[in-house]
């Protein structure tokens, strides 16, 4: 085949291949590719703020504090303390907080305040505070925490540092949230008891409620003191300047909006937690009734030994 003929054959082959692929390419262009749904800026900002602020860590630490205080309170018997700590573990799981808190931020959204919140949590000081809070909340820190707090009995921190810790506690609603959780547990417990009793026995429940009110007040003071002492340990590596910057953010309009809104969501969560605690109490009692082994029968009194019959007389004797 001559060179011109060979070139003509190659051009014809290329034309035929191109014609064969044109319909497929046109079909691909005609297809409508599914586009990813646009990200809502409000939702993205809320998720970023919750991630940066470590709210889940703080809520998990709250449950850990309550569990530690209640387990060491011997005014309630062992079964009650075990049930309460079990209720905290299930009803107060950190994942249960996320939805109402996120919803509260969504419903009360403030774009300007959120922008300032994100600026703060991206700062070096905020990152250090978050690192200290995460480290202090770890269960493995318990021995070191006890050892550090023991040293405070001989060497009290400065008045300025105590004031800074108080300001941070108030801005985070830490003690307030712990007290509300104690109240929710006691109220749920009381509601569960009411469901198990008839009308005649509810007078006793009212008396129990009065006792629980006193108990709550005592626990509230102890929890508040425990939180403040724990904060002294958590922020032990922070300088007064860093603590002051943290307190100033919490007391700013943006800080008040952020943590005030989070606390509203937390209160909404507690309303549902009360019912969850009551339901768990009822289920626990019902389960105990149906699974407890029957009590052992009272052993019968031993029978008296039979009196031996007199021996028969020997033959030949009277």
Considering only residues 213 and 52, tell me which one the structure prediction assigns the higher pLDDT: 52
Considering only residues 155 and 81, tell me which one the structure prediction assigns the higher pLDDT: 155
pLDDT of residue 286: 65
The residue among 266, 262, 271 whose CA lies nearest residue 117 is 262
Residue 224: exposure state from Cβ atoms within 10 A (0-12, 13-18, ≥19): middle
Residue 315: exposure state from Cβ atoms within 10 A (0-12, 13-18, ≥19): exposed
Q: Residue 89 in contact with residue 276, Cβ under 8 Å?
A: no
Considering only residues 35 and 88, tell me which one the structure prediction assigns the higher pLDDT: 88
Give the pTM. Answer: 0.70
The residue among 265, 261, 278, 227 whose CA lies nearest residue 96 is 265
pLDDT of residue 317: 44
Q: What is the DSSP letter of 75?
A: T
Considering only residues 309 and 147, tell me which one the structure prediction assigns the higher pLDDT: 147
Considering only residues 214 and 298, tell me which one the structure prediction assigns the higher pLDDT: 214
Considering only residues 250 and 287, tell me which one the structure prediction assigns the higher pLDDT: 250
The mean pLDDT of the chain is 75
CA-to-CA dists, residue 45 to 57, 118, 124, 263, 264, angstroms:
19, 8, 19, 18, 19
Query: 131-145, 160-174, 183-197, 265-279: which range is least confident on average?
Result: 183-197
Query: 30-39, 67-76, 170-179, 218-227: which range is least confident on average?
Result: 30-39
Burial profile 8-33: b = 16 or more Cβ within 10 angstroms, e = fewer: eeeeeeeeeeeeeeeeeeeeeeeeee
């Amino acid at each position: 085949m001559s060179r011109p003929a060979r070139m003509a054959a190659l051009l014809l082959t290329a034309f035929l291949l191109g014609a064969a692929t044109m319909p497929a390419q046109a079909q691909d262009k005609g297809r409508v590719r599914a586009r990813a749904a646009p990200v809502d800026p409000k939702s993205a900002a809320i998720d970023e703020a919750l991630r940066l602020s470590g709210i889940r860590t703080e809520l998990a630490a709250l449950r850990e504090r309550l569990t530690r205080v209640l387990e060491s309170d011997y005014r309630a018997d062992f079964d009650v303390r075990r049930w309460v700590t079990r209720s905290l573990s299930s009803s107060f799981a950190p994942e249960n907080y996320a939805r109402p808190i996120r919803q509260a931020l969504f419903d009360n959204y403030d774009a300007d305040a959120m922008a300032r919140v994100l600026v703060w949590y991206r700062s070096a000081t905020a990152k250090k505070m978050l690192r200290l809070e995460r480290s202090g909340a770890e269960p493995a820190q318990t021995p070191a925490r006890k050892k550090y707090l023991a040293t405070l009995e001989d060497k009290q921190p400065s008045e300025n540092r105590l004031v800074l810790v108080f300001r941070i506690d108030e801005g985070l609603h830490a003690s307030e949230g712990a007290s509300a959780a104690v109240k929710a547990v006691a109220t749920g417990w009381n509601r569960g008891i009411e469901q198990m009793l008839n009308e005649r026995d509810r007078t006793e429940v009212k008396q129990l409620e009065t006792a629980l009110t006193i108990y709550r007040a005592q626990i509230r003071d102890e929890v508040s003191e425990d939180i403040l002492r724990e904060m002294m340990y958590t922020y032990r590596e922070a300088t007064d300047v860093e603590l002051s910057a943290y307190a100033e953010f919490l007391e700013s309009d943006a800080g008040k909006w952020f943590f005030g809104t989070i606390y509203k969501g937390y209160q909404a969560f507690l309303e549902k937690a009360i019912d969850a605690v009551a339901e768990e109490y009822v289920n626990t009692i019902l389960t105990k009734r149906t699974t407890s082994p029957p009590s052992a029968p009272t052993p019968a009194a031993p029978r008296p030994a039979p009196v031996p019959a007199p021996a028969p007389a020997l033959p030949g004797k009277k």
